[in-house]
Structure 1
Amino acid sequence: MEIFQAHSVILRARSKYFHSAFSSNLVKKEGDFYIFKKPNVTSIVFKIILKYIYTGTILGNIENNIIELLLVANEMELYELVEYLQQCIINFNNDWIELNGVKLYDFISHHKDVFPKLQELCNNIMSQKPKLLIDSNEFWGLDDEALLSMIQLDYLEMKEVEIWDNLIKWGIAKNSTLNSDMKTWSVKEYDILKETISKFIQHIRFFQMTSQEYYCKVRPLSKLLPKELEEDLLSHYIVPEYKLATKVLPPRKTQNDKIFDSTILTRKYFNIISYWIDNGQEKLPKFTESV
């Protein structure tokens, strides 16, 4: 454990967190010194935080520690630093995202309301380039809440059968007792996987798969599904008119859908739509683009 010395007056003045800590019984005093322990913060990150509190600057390469640094800065109520670090992450290139995307997405899934800019960034990455994360070696370490957050996205540029396939692989990776050859599995092993993926099943849009995808990828694993869903899927692909008991989720949206769903319209297109309503499309005037 590394020991740092700092001036309590400066810490109080620059951080509400330290001001509250020094004003309470959280910090023990020995002689003229306050003893402040933070076992959950690495010495590298604490050194960066102290440097920022004293000088208002961030020095050195922070890419490898930026997620922990962001969390600690937020805990210590250093909100200007929080804004700066969020912008740094947003500006990082794809190489950083490929290496750290899973860790970032995992982190944000537990702090959705704390870092809205990064939440939007993660959702955009997952909706546009989900394979940046899914193809990562770190994907199988993604925790339940992070994966659930991803699967619940309406905008996700992946085929539903690919989402299902990767959910199965993730579930197997989460259980060290399960081997990858499912043909050799016992009932007990299927029950373990069924329990692992149970919370995700209702968010998979099975009814949007093709009959071939269902037959090849879902039907052989139908014992992992709730009985009612299993029967409804079989009925749906054999008798399409069959009335289903299961709630059918709509298809996921594409990026084009996202554009049209936007509540922001330029004046040009607002004028065009208004003119259509008032006069009909055949009398459409010409509009020039304003800069």
Structure 2
Amino acid sequence: MEIFQAHSVILRARSKYFHSAFSSNLVKKEGDFYIFKKPNVTSIVFKIILKYIYTGTILGNIENNIIELLLVANEMELYELVEYLQQCIINFNNDWIELNGVKLYDFISHHKGVFPKLQELCNNIMSQKPKLLIDSNEFWGLDDEALLSMIQLDYLEMKEVEIWDNLIKWGIAKNSTLNSDMTTWSVKEYDILKETISKFIQHIRFFQMTSQEYYCKVRPLSKLLPKELEEDLLSHYIVPEYKLATKVLPPRKSQNDKIFDSTILTRKYFNIISYWIDNGQEKLPKFTESF
């Protein structure tokens, strides 16, 4: 544990969080010193925060710690720093996104509405280039809420059968007792996977698959589906005019039809997103990490 010394008057003046903390029982006083403990914050990040509070600057390489830094800055109500860090991430190049996309998407999914620029950024990247996420080694560790946010996207540029395939793989990876050879599974193992993926099923647009995709990929695993959906899918592909009990979701929308209607990201940032998605070779200029 690293110990930092700072002036409480400066911390109070620069941060509403510290002002409230020093005025409450959150901080223990020993003699003339306040003892303030933050076990959830790494010393590297706290050092950066402390430097910012004193000088208004962010110095050094923050790329490896920026997500934690963003979270702590928001907790400490340093909203100018929060805005700055969001724009830093938007300006990072494609390499950073490929390495940290899963972590960022996971983070944003747990803080919906807190970081609107990054939420819209993630949704646009994952809508247009979901393989940045799915092809990552970190994808299988993605938690339920993050994956659900992705599957719910109207502009997700993936075929439904690919979404289904990857959901099955993700569900297997989430359960250490399941092996990848499903032909050896018992009823119990299918029940485990069915429970794992149950919340996602209603958001997959099964009725938009081709008959071949359904027959080869979904039908063999139909025991993972609710009974009503299983029967409706079978009826749909055998008797297309059959009246279905299941709500049929519309096809996902194409990015080519999407109108630039963002109220958060400017055209500049959409150009940066396009750069990432097109896998440009030139490096974007680094953001200067100081105010």
Length-normalised TM-score, structure 2: 0.89
More displaced stretch, 265-274 vs 89-98: 265-274
User: Deviation digits for residues 91-144 of structure 1, max 9, x if unmatched?
Assistant: 011110110000000000011111000000000011110100110000000000
Mean CA deviation greater in 273-282 or 110-119: 273-282
The Cα offsets for residues 50-92 of structure 1, whole Å up to 9 and x where unpaired, read as 0000110001100000000000000000001000000000001
Could you list the runs of 5+ residues in structure 2 that have no partner in the other structure?
Answer: none
* Comparing 147-156 and 253-262, the one that deviates more: 253-262
Q: Does the CA-based 8 Å contact 1:98-1:132 persist in structure 2?
A: yes
Alignment deviations for residues 2-45 of structure 1 (CA, whole Å, 9 cap, x no partner): 11110101100110000000011110000010000000000100
Of residues 262-271 and 121-130 in structure 1, the stretch that sits farther from structure 2 once superposed is 262-271
Unaligned runs of 5+ in 1: none
Higher relative contact order (CA 8 A, sep 6+): 2
Aligned equivalents of 2:4 and 2:259: distance in 1? 51
**Runs of 4+ in structure 1 over 4 Å off:** 260-291
Relative to structure 1, is the Cα distance of residues 52 and 126 closer, same or farther in structure 2, using a 3 angstrom cutoff? same
Change (3 A) 1:95 1:79: same
Superposed, 1:184-263 pairs within 5 Å as 184-259=184-259
- Quick check: which one's helix share is greater? 1
Q: Indicate conservation of the 8 Å contact 2:93/2:283, yes or no.
A: no
Determine the C-alpha separation between the residues in 2 that align with 1:79 and 1:87: 13
**Equivalent-residue separation in structure 2 for 1:46 and 1:169 (angstroms):** 38
| Per-residue Cα deviation, 1:216-239 (whole angstroms, up to 9, x for no partner) | 100000000000000000000000
Superposition deviation, residue 257 in structure 1: 2.0
The answer to which of 251-260 and 21-30 deviates more is 251-260
Alpha-carbon RMSD across the aligned residues, in angstroms, is: 9.6
Aligned-residue offset at 1:258 = 1.2
Q: Percent identity?
A: 99
Match of 1:45 in 2: 45
Secondary structure, counterpart of 1:34 in structure 2: strand
Closer/same/farther in 2, CA of residues 272 and 243 from structure 1, 3 Å limit: farther
Computing the radius of gyration over CA atoms, which structure comes out larger, 1 or 2?
1
Residue 280 of structure 1 and its aligned partner are, at CA, apart by 43
State the partner residue of 1:88.
88
Say if 2:160 and 2:209, in contact at 8 Å, map to a contact too: yes
Check conservation: 2:92, 2:287, Cα contact below 8 A.
no
Number of corresponding residues: 291
Q: Return closer, same or farther for 1:219/1:270 CA change in 2, 3 Å cut-off.
A: closer
Quickly say closer, same or farther: Cα 1:237–1:262, change in 2 above 3 A: farther
Residue 156 to residue 78, structure 1, CA distance change in 2 (3 Å): same
C-alpha distance in 2, partners of 1:85/1:272?
A: 16
Aligned partners of 1:268 and 1:287 also within 8 Å: no
Q: 1:269 to 1:166 in 2, by over 3 A?
A: closer
C-alpha contact 1:140 1:173 (8 A) present in aligned 2? yes
User: Who is 2:8 aligned against?
Assistant: 8
Alpha-carbon distance change, 23 to 218 in structure 1, aligned in 2, over 3 angstroms: same
SS at match of 1:177: coil
Q: Distance in 1 between matches of 2:91 and 2:48?
A: 20
Against the structure 1 CA distance between its residues 261 and 42, is the aligned structure 2 distance closer, same or farther, given a 3 Å change threshold?
closer
